[in-house]
């Protein structure tokens, strides 16, 4: 098992990170030491059946005063109503300030349970047990919590760092193939922007990562999950020191988000970001920021991962441009990009990470990209 404690500066809190197989015993041991009055597992309907009930049983057997609250799985339930439901269940169980929430699930559970924890009686601690590749790669570290509202996704939330994150490759074995692969793209992204060694290790072990079986998988995944979260942590910590570094995480996301929205969310987030990374790498190569070879390298890895790299035919270049113009980070109608200059190194110019291009330039690049395939 890999283990580390990270100091996250905005509230001086320590976040303990564990990566390894069959972690439930470790989780229970950790929770006992916290000596809380109440332990609440928050999860969704699917993860409850697959993993939640087992953890609850183990916690109760260890003498922890624990119970489980589950809500219907799916992004459409990351709402105010669900948040209120979870809070009211906690009040029914007489949870006071001496309660801890254990968020067991994907990004939806992590975001919602994290938000409940951030506001319940002005804030109680949360432990994250991410069970999807997206949650492991991205949402369990960084402290962002949120719900969706009719006006848009993730518009209401707070920053609330978890006190611990437990990552167990065993949980990922029950995840469907599409969700599994698409979440891996955020890990690949972390390598591309910050860490060539990590990128190479991921690439070398891709077959094992995709096979999801045997001891080798657990050993490799334990390392990948751990190294990945360290990259994300470093970015978040440096960002807190006013460097604005968090922007590098947007690589692939300016175009990726537009494609995700224009697919009416038929594409999973990671599937759209995979295409976004390819187009943005192509953009960087066209602008002589990145070599053509490093653009092709990224595209090939994404293809080997089994993800689509072509922009869907039904989505027009004009619509992508229109949507990017409206992006909240666009200024003067020019969207903002976080690019890379080589694998493992994000692009920066005069201390600025973001780069803007005219809409005419972007239209041309996107059209050229479409003609490549």
Ligand X SMILES: NC(=O)c1ccc[n+]([C@@H]2O[C@H](COP(=O)([O-])OP(=O)(O)OC[C@H]3O[C@@H](n4cnc5c(N)ncnc54)[C@H](O)[C@@H]3O)[C@@H](O)[C@H]2O)c1
- Which residues are part of the catalytic machinery? 122, 144, 186, 232, 242, 246, 250, 253, 257, 269
Cα–Cα distance, 282 to 156 (Å, whole number): 34
Cα 199 to Cα 134: distance, rounded to the nearest angstrom = 17
Number of residues interacting with ligand X: please give it, by CB under 6 A.
27
Closest by Cα among 187, 19, 158, 168 to 105: 168
With beta carbons less than 8 A apart as the criterion, state whether 349 and 337 touch: no
Annotate 165-233 with DSSP letters as a single string. EEE-HHHHTTS-HHHHHHHHHHHHHHHHHH-HHHHHHHHHTHHHHHH--HHHHHHHHHHHHHHHHHHHH
Cα–Cα dist 195/188, whole Å: 10
- Which residue of 36, 38, 46, 83 would you call a contact of ligand X, by CB under 6 A? 46
What gap in Å lies between CA 237 and CA 6, rounded to an integer?
Answer: 9
Cα separation, 272 vs 112, whole angstroms: 23
**Rounded Cα gap, residues 355 and 362, in angstroms:** 12
250 binds ligand X (CB under 6 A): no
Window 168-207: residues binding ligand X (CB under 6 A): 171, 174-175, 179
Minimum distance, C-beta of residue 276 to ligand X, in the bound complex (Å): 14
Nearest residue to ligand X by CB is 107
Q: Which stretch binds ligand X (CB under 6 A): 130-138, 197-205, 210-218, 313-321?
A: 130-138
Q: Which of 6, 73, 276, 298 binds ligand X (CB under 6 A)?
A: 73
Binding mask 79-118 for ligand X (x = CB under 6 A): --------------------------xxxxx-x-------
For ligand X, which residue of 26, 75, 238, 361 counts as binding (CB under 6 A)? 75
According to CB under 6 A, which one of 82, 132, 228, 298 is a site residue for ligand X? 132
Nearer to ligand X, 40 or 113 (CB): 113
Which of the stretches 53-61, 72-80, 200-208, 295-303 binds ligand X when contact is defined by CB under 6 A?
A: 72-80
Cα separation, 127 vs 104, in Å, equals 8
Print the binding letters for residues 141-170 with ligand X: x by CB under 6 A, - otherwise: -x-x---------x----------------
Close Cβ partners of 229 (under 8 Å, ≥ 6 residues apart): 17, 19, 136, 140, 141, 165, 167
The contact set with ligand X (CB under 6 A) reads: 44, 46-47, 50, 73-75, 78, 105-109, 111, 131-132, 134-135, 138-139, 142, 144, 154, 171, 174-175, 179
């Amino acid at each position: 098992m890999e283990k580390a404690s990270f100091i996250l500066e905005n509230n001086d809190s320590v976040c303990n990170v564990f990566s390894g197989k069959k972690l439930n015993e470790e989780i229970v041991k950790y929770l006992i030491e916290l000596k809380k009055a109440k332990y609440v597992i928050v999860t969704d309907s699917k993860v409850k059946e697959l993993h939640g009930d087992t953890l609850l049983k183990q916690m109760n057997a260890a003498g922890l005063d624990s119970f489980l609250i589950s809500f219907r799985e799916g992004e459409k339930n990351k709402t105010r109503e669900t948040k209120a439901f979870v809070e009211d269940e906690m009040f029914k169980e007489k949870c006071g300030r001496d309660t801890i929430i254990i968020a067991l699930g994907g990004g939806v559970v992590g975001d919602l349970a994290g938000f409940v924890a951030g506001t319940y009686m002005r804030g109680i601690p949360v432990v994250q047990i991410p069970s999807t590749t997206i949650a492991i790669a991205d949402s369990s570290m960084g402290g962002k919590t949120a719900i969706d509202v009719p006006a848009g996704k993730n518009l209401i939330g707070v920053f609330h760092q978890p006190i611990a994150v437990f990552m167990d490759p065993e949980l990922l074995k029950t995840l469907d193939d599409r969700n599994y692969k698409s979440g891996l793209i955020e890990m690949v992204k972390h390598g591309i922007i910050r860490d060539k060694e990590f990128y190479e290790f991921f690439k070398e072990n891709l077959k094992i990562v995709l096979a999801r079986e045997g001891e080798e998988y657990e050993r490799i995944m334990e390392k990948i999950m751990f190294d990945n979260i360290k990259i994300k942590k470093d970015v978040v910590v440096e960002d807190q020191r006013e460097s604005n570094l968090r922007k590098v995480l947007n690589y692939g996301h300016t175009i990726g988000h537009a494609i995700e929205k224009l697919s009416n969310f038929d594409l999973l987030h990671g599937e759209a970001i995979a295409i976004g990374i390819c187009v943005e790498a192509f953009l960087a190569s066209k602008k002589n920021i990145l070599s053509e070879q490093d653009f092709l390298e990224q595209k090939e890895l994404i293809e080997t991962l089994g993800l689509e790299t072509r922009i869907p035919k039904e989505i027009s270049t004009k619509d992508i441009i229109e949507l990017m113009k409206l992006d909240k980070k666009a200024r003067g109608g020019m969207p903002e990009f976080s690019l890379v200059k080589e694998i493992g190194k994000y692009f920066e110019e005069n201390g600025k990470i973001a780069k803007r291009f005219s809409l005419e330039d972007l239209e041309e690049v996107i059209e050229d990209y479409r003609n490549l395939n």
